[in-house]
């Protein structure tokens, strides 16, 4: 198997008419905003205590630990986002904040390399005694990712040196040698972080530890005999499967348990599979991918349908109004898809990666950048959501911050690091997965290559790619699953295409200009009949976007509308949100006259013509509270 060569985050700079807005907002507004929140200086936001915890641990102030035991991870993700933001804007304010917090972290770290403020401040005697739920390895993983980001984006290795000591302690603590613990993380994350660090530094011990954690997962005793685990296991939702520890990875055939943990685990496993070339691990991941994307994924790219345990349930159980679909889980799915593309460039992975990024990930942040969704439902009636127990996690409006705030900094690091999702490389072949405008530079075996892409996506199917570099480099252009009449021209002349796994290969010549065009019409989608929630229903997709109806455009009782599938969908350019494409669906709704005083009546009450205006799902709840609907009744 030909290995993929990782492309540096510094080598792909997004410059895109659609994505420039969210990225610029993240760089100029959201990163400083989240720094204020993490320092508990933002009015109206739930206190974070994340920076304060480190300052107390460093002896710089007095106080008690605040927040959840995994609060350190919020700060780590912000450090990663802030580091990547400097690639777009070299801000003295952000550099100063990074220098400040790294100095605090250096002081907070214990002499032996240990670094977790919850156990340092609250339970120092219980270090490494609650692997199932303590989150020590999870927090270390996020801080290791932050260290890699600092190193790659700024050239500073200060945080990496901190994490070298931390990882050395973890290697000393976990393993099969005398005095070591034969276990694995309760909340996976460090596996993928170790692989990032391995690629950034070349240090084999990082890869070896990641492989150990991946291969050891599901063995006993691990953490399965810990008192903390046994106590939590009294709930049916928190057994071994919650941690993906019910079987070794090659024996797992369905995605189980906490959705974010699963996505991070599979991501790290795919990284290991790429480095080891193990076909059995690759096959296991392919089987799990098929289960997730063909049986347990929402049309928006969301995963994890149940709030209790933030977990997967069973095949085809995809309720729309009670669904959890955590923003972090969709980010994890995109991360896993990117790793599968490195293993095997196949558009079935990039189609899902794009679906998640443009829908369930983007919906997690408001257009102002300062309000967030943790849970991303596909249907909501605000008054009902506020009342019902099974919807207690569903917010009718985005909020300024969460007590459990994993999602906000996760979105920010994804936006600031979006360039890493556009391409992968295998030898002298480049794969373009997303038609996002960018300027990119690659070191191939034939020499330095540069690509410049200008794109009309996601509103129109057109991209122009200019290449400068050595002859003979191949560019594989993704053919999106929704694309019609896909064409590639070189300098105005059409090219004959021979697609491979959903990609059209083009042999590049220096100075060549390649134009990609395709049609992407609004269309109705239906769900597998086993998804009982969506039987006799349809939703609308146009390009990468799933569309929804909002009360702001259509009034209430959205669920009473029935779409006429025989009537064409109408696309309209709208000035909303700086310019989008809306879609109008034609159908009927009940004549409400007969229902003024009746709760039930004989079937057959009259219906009247109606239409629904739909907009991309990620934009919902940016114009005030109201009903929202993705799946419409249809006939």
| Contact (Cβ atoms closer than 8 angstroms) between residue 431 and residue 345 | yes
The set of residues, in sequence order, having a beta carbon less than 8 Å from that of 549 and lying 6+ positions away, is 558, 561, 585, 612, 613, 614, 628, 629, 632
User: pLDDT grade, residue 138 (50/70/90)?
Assistant: very high
- Taking the C-alpha atoms of residue 231 and residue 211, their distance in angstroms, rounded to an integer, is 29
Q: Is the pLDDT of residue 1 over 50?
A: no
Distance of CA 342 to the CA centre of its chain: 17
Q: Helix, strand, or coil here: 302?
A: coil
Q: Is residue 26 part of a domain?
A: yes
Q: Which pLDDT value is given to residue 428? A: 85
Looking at residue 478, which CATH number applies to its domain?
Answer: 2.60.420.10
Do residues 349 and 225 share a domain?
Answer: yes
User: Tokens for 213?
Assistant: 């954690």
Q: Is the pLDDT of residue 3 over 80?
A: no
| Contact (Cβ atoms closer than 8 angstroms) between residue 313 and residue 256 | no
Choice among 166, 311, 328, 406 that is catalytic: 406
For residue 504, list its beta bridge partners. 477
- Taking the C-alpha atoms of residue 292 and residue 329, their distance in angstroms, rounded to an integer, is 12
Distance of CA 241 to the CA centre of its chain: 22
The DSSP output letter for 186 is S
Q: Which pLDDT value is given to residue 2? A: 47
Per DSSP, which regions of 229-385 are E strands? 379-380
The DSSP output letter for 308 is T
Q: Is residue 2 part of a domain?
A: no
Measured in Å, how far apart are the chain's first and last C-alpha atoms? Answer: 48
Q: Helix, strand, or coil here: 529?
A: coil
Do residues 228 and 155 share a domain?
Answer: yes
Looking at residue 354, which CATH number applies to its domain?
Answer: 1.50.10
Q: Whats the size of the chain, residue-wise? A: 635
Dihedral angle over CA of 286, 184, 133, 125, nearest 10: -170
| Contact (Cβ atoms closer than 8 angstroms) between residue 629 and residue 549 | yes
Q: Is the pLDDT of residue 631 over 60?
A: yes
| Contact (Cβ atoms closer than 8 angstroms) between residue 188 and residue 194 | no
Per DSSP, which regions of 136-189 are E strands? none
Do residues 485 and 571 share a domain?
Answer: no
Would you tell me how many other CB atoms lie within 10 Å of the CB of residue 283? 12
327-353 as b/e, with b when 16 or more CB fall inside 10 Å? Answer: bbbbbbbbbbbbbbbbbbbbbbbbbbb
- Taking the C-alpha atoms of residue 153 and residue 156, their distance in angstroms, rounded to an integer, is 8
Q: Which of 399, 421, 443 is the last residue of a domain?
A: 421
Do residues 313 and 164 share a domain?
Answer: yes
- Backbone dihedral angles phi then psi of residue 225, each to the nearest 5 degrees: -110, 5
- Taking the C-alpha atoms of residue 332 and residue 263, their distance in angstroms, rounded to an integer, is 5
C-alpha pair distances (Å), 49 with each of 58, 104, 159, 403: 14, 14, 20, 10
User: Does the active-site annotation cover 310?
Assistant: yes
Q: If we measure between CA atoms, which residue out of 338, 341, 337 comes closest to residue 429?
A: 341
User: Tokens for 417?
Assistant: 């690091």
Q: Which pLDDT value is given to residue 195? A: 98
Inter-helix orientation angle 92-108/50-57, to 10°: 50
Do residues 62 and 78 share a domain?
Answer: yes
- Taking the C-alpha atoms of residue 356 and residue 300, their distance in angstroms, rounded to an integer, is 6
Concatenating the DSSP letter of every residue in 193-235 gives HHHHHHHHH--HHHHHHHHHHHHHTT-SSTTTT-HHHHHHTTS
| Contact (Cβ atoms closer than 8 angstroms) between residue 269 and residue 281 | yes
Q: Is the pLDDT of residue 181 over 90?
A: yes
Q: Calculate mean pLDDT across residues 4-29.
A: 92
Number of domains in the chain: 3
Q: Is residue 1 part of a domain?
A: no
- Taking the C-alpha atoms of residue 209 and residue 189, their distance in angstroms, rounded to an integer, is 13
Q: Is residue 110 part of a domain?
A: yes
Q: Which of 421, 444, 461 is the last residue of a domain?
A: 421
Three-state SS string over 337-374 comes to: HHHHHHHCCCHHHHHHHHHHHHHHHHHHECCCCCCECC
Q: Helix, strand, or coil here: 476?
A: strand
583-623 residue pLDDT tens? 999 999 999 988 888 999 999 879 999 999 999 999 999 99
Residue where the block lists tokens 């896993």? 336
Q: Is the pLDDT of residue 266 over 90?
A: yes
Q: If we measure between CA atoms, which residue out of 354, 536, 542 comes closest to residue 459?
A: 542
Three-state SS string over 41-77 comes to: CCCCCCCCCHHHHHHHHCCCCCCCCCCCCCCHHHHHH
Do residues 349 and 479 share a domain?
Answer: no
Do residues 150 and 206 share a domain?
Answer: yes
Do residues 341 and 471 share a domain?
Answer: no
549-566 residue pLDDT tens? 999 999 999 999 999 999
pTM, two decimals, is 0.97
Q: Which of 400, 421, 442 is the last residue of a domain?
A: 421
Do residues 505 and 569 share a domain?
Answer: no
Q: Is residue 3 part of a domain?
A: no
Do residues 417 and 458 share a domain?
Answer: no
Q: If we measure between CA atoms, which residue out of 145, 161, 164 comes closest to residue 103?
A: 161
329-369 residue pLDDT tens? 999 999 999 999 999 999 999 999 999 999 999 999 999 99
Q: If we measure between CA atoms, which residue out of 131, 153, 311, 138 comes closest to residue 230?
A: 131
552-574 as b/e, with b when 16 or more CB fall inside 10 Å? Answer: bbbeeebbebbbebeeebeeeee
Inter-helix orientation angle 190-201/158-173, to 10°: 120
Q: Which pLDDT value is given to residue 350? A: 98
**Mean pLDDT (the chain, rounded):** 96
The set of residues, in sequence order, having a beta carbon less than 8 Å from that of 505 and lying 6+ positions away, is 429, 474, 475, 476, 477, 498
Q: Tell me the residue range of the domain where 514 lies.
A: 427-519
| Contact (Cβ atoms closer than 8 angstroms) between residue 146 and residue 140 | no
Do residues 438 and 537 share a domain?
Answer: no
User: Tokens for 53?
Assistant: 């915890």
For residue 181, list its beta bridge partners. 174
Choice among 310, 370, 381, 533 that is catalytic: 310
278-325 residue pLDDT tens? 999 999 999 999 999 999 999 999 999 999 999 999 999 999 999 999
Do residues 549 and 435 share a domain?
Answer: no
- Backbone dihedral angles phi then psi of residue 521, each to the nearest 5 degrees: -90, 150
User: pLDDT grade, residue 232 (50/70/90)?
Assistant: confident
Q: Is residue 4 part of a domain?
A: no
Q: What is the CA radius of gyration of the chain?
A: 25
User: Tokens for 604?
Assistant: 């057959």
Q: Number of helices (H) and strands (E) in the chain: give both, helices first.
A: 18, 21
Three-state SS string over 397-424 comes to: CCECCCCCCCHHHHHHHHHHCHHHHCEE
Q: Calculate mean pLDDT across residues 56-79.
A: 98
| Contact (Cβ atoms closer than 8 angstroms) between residue 257 and residue 309 | yes
């Amino acid at each position: 198997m030909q290995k993929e060569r990782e492309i540096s985050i510094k080598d792909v700079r997004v410059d895109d008419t659609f994505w420039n807005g969210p990225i610029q907002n993240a760089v100029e507004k959201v990163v400083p905003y989240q720094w204020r929140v993490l320092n508990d200086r933002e009015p109206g936001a739930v206190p974070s205590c994340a920076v304060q915890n480190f300052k107390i641990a460093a002896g710089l102030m007095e106080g008690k630990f605040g927040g959840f035991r995994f609060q350190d991870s919020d700060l780590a993700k912000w450090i990663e986002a802030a580091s990547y933001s400097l690639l777009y804007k070299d801000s003295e304010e952000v550099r100063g904040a990074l220098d400040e917090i790294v100095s605090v972290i250096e002081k907070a770290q214990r002499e032996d390399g240990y670094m977790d403020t919850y156990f340092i401040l609250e339970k120092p005697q219980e270090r490494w005694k609650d692997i199932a739920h303590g989150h020590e390895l999870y927090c270390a993983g996020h801080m290791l990712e932050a260290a890699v980001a600092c190193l790659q984006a700024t050239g500073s290795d200060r945080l990496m040196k901190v994490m070298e000591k931390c990882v050395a302690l973890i290697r000393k603590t976990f393993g099969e040698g005398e005095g070591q613990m034969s276990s694995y993380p309760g909340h996976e994350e460090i596996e993928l972080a170790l692989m990032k660090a391995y690629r950034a530094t070349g240090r084999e011990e990082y890869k070896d530890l990641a492989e150990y954690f991946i291969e050891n997962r599901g063995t006993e005793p691990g953490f399965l005999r810990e008192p903390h685990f046994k106590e939590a296991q009294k709930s049916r939702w928190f057994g071994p499967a919650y941690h993906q520890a019910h079987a070794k990875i090659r024996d797992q055939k369905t995605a189980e348990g906490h959705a974010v943990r699963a996505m991070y685990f599979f991501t790290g496993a795919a990284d290991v599979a790429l480095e080891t070339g193990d076909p059995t691990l690759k096959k296991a991941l392919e089987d799990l991918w098929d289960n997730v994307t063909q049986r347990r994924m929402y049309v928006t790219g969301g995963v994890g349908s149940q709030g209790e345990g933030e977990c997967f349930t069973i095949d085809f159980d995809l309720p729309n109004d009670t669904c959890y679909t955590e923003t972090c889980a969709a980010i994890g799915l995109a991360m896993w898809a990117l790793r599968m593309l490195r293993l095997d460039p196949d558009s079935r992975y990039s189609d899902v990666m794009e679906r998640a990024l443009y829908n369930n990930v983007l919906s997690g942040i408001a257009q102002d950048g300062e309000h967030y969704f943790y849970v991303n439902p596909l249907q909501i009636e605000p008054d009902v959501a506020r009342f019902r127990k099974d919807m207690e996690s569903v917010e009718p409006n985005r909020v300024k911050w969460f007590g459990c705030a994993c999602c906000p900094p996760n979105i920010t690091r994804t936006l600031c690091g979006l360039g890493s999702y556009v391409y992968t490389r295998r030898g002298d072949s480049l794969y373009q997965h997303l038609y996002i405008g960018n300027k990119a530079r690659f070191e191939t075996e034939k020499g330095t290559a540069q690509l410049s892409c200008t794109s009309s996506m996601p509103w129109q199917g057109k991209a122009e790619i200019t290449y400068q570099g050595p002859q003979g480099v191949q560019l594989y252009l993704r053919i999106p699953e929704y694309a019609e009449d896909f064409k590639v021209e070189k300098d105005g002349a059409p090219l004959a295409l021979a697609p491979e796994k959903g990609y059209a290969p083009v042999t590049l010549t220096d100075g060549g200009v390649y134009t990609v065009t395709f049609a992407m019409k609004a269309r109705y989608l239906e769900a597998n009949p086993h998804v009982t929630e969506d039987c006799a229903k349809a939703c609308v997709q146009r390009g990468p976007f799933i569309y929804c109806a909002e009360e702001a455009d259509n009034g209430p009782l959205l669920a009473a509308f029935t779409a006429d599938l025989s009537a064409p969908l109408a696309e309209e350019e709208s000035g909303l949100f700086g310019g989008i494409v809306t879609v109008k669906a034609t159908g009927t709704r009940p004549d409400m006259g007969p229902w003024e005083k009746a709760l039930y009546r004989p079937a057959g009450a009259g219906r009247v013509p109606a239409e629904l205006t739909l907009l991309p799902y990620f934009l919902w709840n940016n114009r005030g509270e109201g009903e929202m609907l993705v799946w419409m009744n249809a006939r």
